[in-house]
């Protein structure tokens, strides 16, 4: 990677507005040093990549805190088990909640880690830890797994962003999720099955005019960047260029182009469409996709809400995993199902479960992850980990190792060598092949 | 027990403790027995007034649905595993008579026809099913609800069945031909909270008053935070003939409440049991006003109730593992 040559530009900080307008010859760009109009895409797109691997990651973020007892680590017939039962899976001896009948049939592809202990019951802090592999501190900020994947895995020649977050409403993907990697590795946020907003040419502008607009923008930018180049301006510049490539490949984001039968199999709800979108993006080479399913923060009527939510998730997720396998993609795609924490074994007075980070579960599949495996164990009532305890730091290492990234190495950022993952943690080698 | 009813004098006369939090309860029609269910998936029979307990085991999951036969000899329970169980509950040793794999998923409600010949069951599979109480054979099943069905009641004529679902739809079915006759909209009981991406509420309970020709539906509204149990109890009072909403019985000062069950007193007073972060309450409403005419604070959060009209007795099932018997008189 070549390092950027940024100008400090003390005197040039105050770009002379009159001179700028004179040079541009247009008041239309006044007030904007980097000209362009795709505001929603400026949260950051990748500019460079360290290496090109054909590996990908997809994360299912079960927002709010999926109950491990109603999913991956059921305890039927116990004080904490609740009304849900366990069912056998395609792996003899392994059972999951009866709320996951379709997923149970794909268990031979999955690896359940039942000994997760992150010791953090706050939503924001827990989510940060699970997505960055580090505990949040005031002194440092760390990139999320999506940003790391975009930096390490994305092949930019495909013209697609490397870090995409899919949510029902298109929200999320904000904040400093790329940290020191730079904003170009931040996510693009998609709303369900819709292409990114503002990726069509404005009405009334023909191809020739469009070319002229961008030539004009590039000339302005080049002149500006000769004196005022920073990581931020690089990111902006890159964003516009990638946005143009994105416009050319807009069809990649159009789930309606998938066969109707596939749309039916995934389910006619937001999550079904998001999963199909994820499959489509991965097939087109996007290195990281996060699908968010909301909401699992079930302090009240935990069981009713989990029946509803997992009723959507189960079939869509099982179809997704099965499709990746059938299409030969699972070997090159790491699938992770995580939350910010699990839920209390204790059932509260509102039939709810509260936040619980001391003994919960995540699921992985694909890449170098062992198939049909269960790692870790909780006690009979699910209150403590009794074997195979892992935390967020170990999991972050494991995600990267599962896609061929040596998580014990460093990344060069502006001349500094920064550890990819927490040096105090290590991968869970036992779940890797 | 034969004193005239006076809801303002309601007080607890018995409290019997089980090992685990209770879920549901009923009083036998003859008033000599109560049944509760608990988070250990068992049923508990309680002799009234002595409180002697017999535990019935058989369900593989929690039991929300209960009803006695009109002669009090049999009890039917519906479990979250989808099984219906018929129990002989008056023998020296109560026993299981039969078991049916009735629904896919939770059974939410059961009701027995006025003549005792037919049992209706509803559940998360969005099906309504009719069963012969004599043989246990299934008579009919049909769909028509778009979401989980929470409640079921027979019309006193036995000719109509009333079912309520998550979306606040109350369907009135013709029992003879299983045709949908009409739908009463109890949609104020349904909340779509887009911020939390949650659907919540529903028709948790239904009750019909023959003389008044009114239907009440209980549940919750103002669910500003369904995941955090921030919602208020609500009972809707409908005219039966026209299906028009006559009263919305809401309550002030109950920020965390939900009406698990509604029933009528003979004089047309509607009674709801509310459980939630505000605690356990019996709420009483008449048709003169929307807010309650009386509320009785129960000692612990309640999850179900059953009223025995002949004795003015109320059974309530509590989170603190107690079945409580209260009377509505001095």
- Which residue would you say has higher pLDDT here, B201 or A174? B201
The CA distance from A155 to A161, in Å, is: 9
The H-assigned helical ranges of A249-301 are 260-266, 270-283
Q: What is the pLDDT of residue B323?
A: 98
pLDDT higher than 90, residue B316: yes
pTM: 0.90
Contact A71, A97 (CB under 8 A): yes
Only one residue has tokens 């006044």, namely A30
> Phi/psi at B293 (nearest 5 deg)?
-90, -20
Query: Which ipTM did the prediction report?
Result: 0.96
The CA distance from A171 to B29, in Å, is: 55
Q: In Å, how far is B53's CA from the nearest CA of chain A? A: 21
Q: What is the pLDDT of residue A15?
A: 34
Q: Any residues with CB less than 8 A from the CB of A188 and at least 6 apart, and which?
A: A41, A43, A45, A161, A163, A164, A165, A173, A196
What is the tens place of the pLDDT at every residue in A306-320? Answer: 999 999 999 999 999
Q: Any residues with CB less than 8 A from the CB of A11 and at least 6 apart, and which?
A: none
Q: What is the pLDDT of residue A29?
A: 32
Please write down the long-range contacts of A244-248, taking CB distance under 8 Å and 24 or more positions apart.
Answer: A244/A214, A245/A159, A245/A160, A246/A41, A246/A45, A246/A159, A246/A160, A246/A161, A246/A196, A246/A199, A247/A199, A247/A200, A247/A201, A248/A159
The least confident of A59-68, A309-318, B127-136, B251-260 is: B251-260
Residues of A in contact with B198 (CB under 8 A): 295, 305
The verdict on B157 touching A (C-beta cutoff 8 Å) is no
Which pair of tokens denotes residue B99? 């078991």
The verdict on B81 touching A (C-beta cutoff 8 Å) is yes
- Which residue would you say has higher pLDDT here, A362 or B251? A362
Look up the CATH architecture of domain A56-196+251-431. Answer: 3-Layer(aba) Sandwich (3.40)
Candidates 2.40.50.100, 1.10.10.10, 2.130.10.10, 3.90.190.20; CATH matching B7-327: 2.130.10.10
The verdict on B61 touching A (C-beta cutoff 8 Å) is yes
Which DSSP string do the residues of A321-348 spell out, in sequence order?
Answer: HHHHHHTT-GGGEEEEEE-S-EE-SS--
What sign has the CA pseudo-torsion A291, A292, A298, A304?
A: negative
* A83 vs B61, B226, B229: nearest CB: B61
The CA distance from A83 to B80, in Å, is: 6
* Contact check, Cβ <8 Å, B21/A299: no
| Three-state SS at A107 | helix
The CA distance from A263 to A273, in Å, is: 7
- B199-231 in b/e form (b: 16+ CB < 10 A) is bbbbbbbbbbbeebebbbbbbbbbbebbbbbbb
The CA distance from B200 to B229, in Å, is: 11
Q: What is the mean pLDDT of residues A26-49?
A: 32
pLDDT higher than 90, residue A217: no
Q: What is the mean pLDDT of residues B95-122?
A: 97
Across the strands, what pairs with B170?
Answer: B164, B184
Contact B282, B295 (CB under 8 A): yes
Question: Quick one: CA torsion of B99, B105, B108, B110, rounded to 10 degrees?
Answer: -30
Whole-angstrom CA distances from B230 to B187, B259, B280 are 18, 13, 15
Q: Which of A168, A170, A297, A300 to mutate to test the interface with B (most CBs of B within 10 A)?
A: A300
* Contact check, Cβ <8 Å, B198/A79: no
The least confident of A346-355, B16-25, B189-198 is: B189-198
Mean of all residue pLDDT scores within chain A = 85
Domain boundaries, chain A: 56-196+251-431
The verdict on B199 touching A (C-beta cutoff 8 Å) is yes
Q: What is the pLDDT of residue B257?
A: 92
Mean of all residue pLDDT scores within chain B = 96
Give the confidence band of A241 by pLDDT, cuts at 50, 70, 90. Answer: confident
The verdict on B105 touching A (C-beta cutoff 8 Å) is yes
Contact A426, A394 (CB under 8 A): yes
What sign has the CA pseudo-torsion A22, A27, A29, A32?
A: positive
Across the strands, what pairs with B27?
Answer: B34
Q: What is the mean pLDDT of residues A165-187?
A: 80
The verdict on A294 touching B (C-beta cutoff 8 Å) is yes
Domain boundaries, chain B: 7-327
Nearest to A360 by CA among A57, A61, A74, A58: A74
The CA distance from A159 to A197, in Å, is: 17
pLDDT higher than 60, residue A47: no
* Contact check, Cβ <8 Å, A349/B21: yes
Across the strands, what pairs with A56?
Answer: A333
Q: What is the pLDDT of residue A37?
A: 33
Residues of A in contact with B148 (CB under 8 A): 307
Whole-angstrom CA distances from A117 to A239, A319, A389, B72 are 38, 29, 7, 51
């Amino acid at each position: 990677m070549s390092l950027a040559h940024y100008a400090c530009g003390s005197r040039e900080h105050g770009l002379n507005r009159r001179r700028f307008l004179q040079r541009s010859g247009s008041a239309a760009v006044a007030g904007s040093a980097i000209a362009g109009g795709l505001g929603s895409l400026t949260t950051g797109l990748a500019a460079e990549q360290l290496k090109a691997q054909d590996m990908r990651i997809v994360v299912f973020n079960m927002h709010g805190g999926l109950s491990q007892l109603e999913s991956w680590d059921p305890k039927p017939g116990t004080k904490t088990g609740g009304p849900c039962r366990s069912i056998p899976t395609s792996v003899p001896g392994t059972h999951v909640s009866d709320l996951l009948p379709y997923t149970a049939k794909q268990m031979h592809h999955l690896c359940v880690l039942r000994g997760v202990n992150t010791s953090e019951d706050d939503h924001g802090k827990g989510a940060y830890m699970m997505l960055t592999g580090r505990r949040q501190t005031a002194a440092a900020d760390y990139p999320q797994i999506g940003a790391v994947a975009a930096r390490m895995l994305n092949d930019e020649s495909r013209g697609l962003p490397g870090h995409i977050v899919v949510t029902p409403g298109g929200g999320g993907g904000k904040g400093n999720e790329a940290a020191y990697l730079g904003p170009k590795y931040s996510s693009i946020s998609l709303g369900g099955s819709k292409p990114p907003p503002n990726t069509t040419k404005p009405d009334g502008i023909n191809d020739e005019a469009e070319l002229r607009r961008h030539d004009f923008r590039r000339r302005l930018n080049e002149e500006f960047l000769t004196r005022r180049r920073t990581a931020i301006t690089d990111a902006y510049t890159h964003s516009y260029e990638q946005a143009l490539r994105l416009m050319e490949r807009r069809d990649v984001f159009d789930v309606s182009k998938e066969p109707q039968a596939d749309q039916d199999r995934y389910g006619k709800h937001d999550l079904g469409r998001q999963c199909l979108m994820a499959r489509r993006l991965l097939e087109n080479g996007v290195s990281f996709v996060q699908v968010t399913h909301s909401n699992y923060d079930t302090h009240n009527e935990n069981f009713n809400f989990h029946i509803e939510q997992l009723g959507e998730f189960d079939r869509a997720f099982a179809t997704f995993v099965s499709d990746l396998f059938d299409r030969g993609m699972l070997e090159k795609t790491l699938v992770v199902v995580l939350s910010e924490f699990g839920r209390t074994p204790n059932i509260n007075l509102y039939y709810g479960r509260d936040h619980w980070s001391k003994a919960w579960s995540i699921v992985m599949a694909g890449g170098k992850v062992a198939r049909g495996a269960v790692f870790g164990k909780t006690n009979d009532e699910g209150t403590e980990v009794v074997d195979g305890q892992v935390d967020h730091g170990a999991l972050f290492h494991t995600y990267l190792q599962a896609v061929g990234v040596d998580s014990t190495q460093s990344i060069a950022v502006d001349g500094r060598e920064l550890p990819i993952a927490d040096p105090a943690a290590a991968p869970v080698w036992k779940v890797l092949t | 027990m034969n004193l005239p009813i006076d809801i303002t004098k309601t007080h607890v006369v018995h409290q019997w403790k089980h090992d685990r939090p209770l879920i549901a309860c009923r009083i036998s029609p003859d008033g000599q027995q109560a049944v509760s269910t608990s988070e250990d998936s068992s049923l508990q029979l309680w002799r009234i007034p002595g409180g002697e307990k017999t535990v019935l085991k058989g369900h593989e999951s929690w039991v929300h649905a209960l009803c006695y036969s009109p002669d009090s000899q049999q009890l039917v329970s519906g479990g979250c595993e989808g099984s219906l169980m018929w129990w002989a509950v008056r023998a020296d040793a109560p026993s299981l008579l039969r078991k049916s794999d009735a629904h896919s998923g939770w059974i939410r409600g059961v009701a027995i026809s006025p003549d005792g010949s037919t049992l209706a069951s509803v559940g998360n599979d969005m099906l309504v099913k009719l069963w012969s109480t004599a043989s246990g054979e299934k008579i009919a099943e049909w769909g028509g609800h778009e979401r989980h069905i929470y409640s079921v009641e027979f019309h006193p004529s036995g000719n109509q069945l009333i079912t309520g679902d998550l979306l606040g739809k109350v369907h009135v079915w013709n029992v003879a031909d299983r045709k949908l006759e009409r739908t009463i909209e109890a949609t104020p009981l349904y909340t779509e909270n887009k911020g939390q991406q949650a659907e919540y509420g529903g028709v948790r309970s239904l009750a019909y008053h023959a003389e008044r020709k009114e239907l009440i539906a209980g549940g919750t509204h103002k669910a500003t935070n369904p995941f955090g149990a921030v919602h208020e109890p609500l009972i809707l009072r409908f005219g039966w003939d026209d299906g028009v909403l006559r009263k919305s019985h809401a309550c002030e000062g109950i920020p965390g409440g939900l009406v698990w069950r509604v029933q009528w007193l003979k004089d047309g007073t509607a009674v709801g049991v509310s459980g939630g972060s505000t605690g356990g309450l019996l709420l009483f409403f008449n048709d003169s006003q929307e807010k309650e005419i009386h509320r009785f604070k129960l000692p612990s959060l309640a999850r179900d109730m059953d009223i025995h009209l002949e004795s003015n007795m109320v059974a309530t099932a509590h989170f603190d593992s107690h079945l409580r018997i209260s009377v509505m008189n001095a």
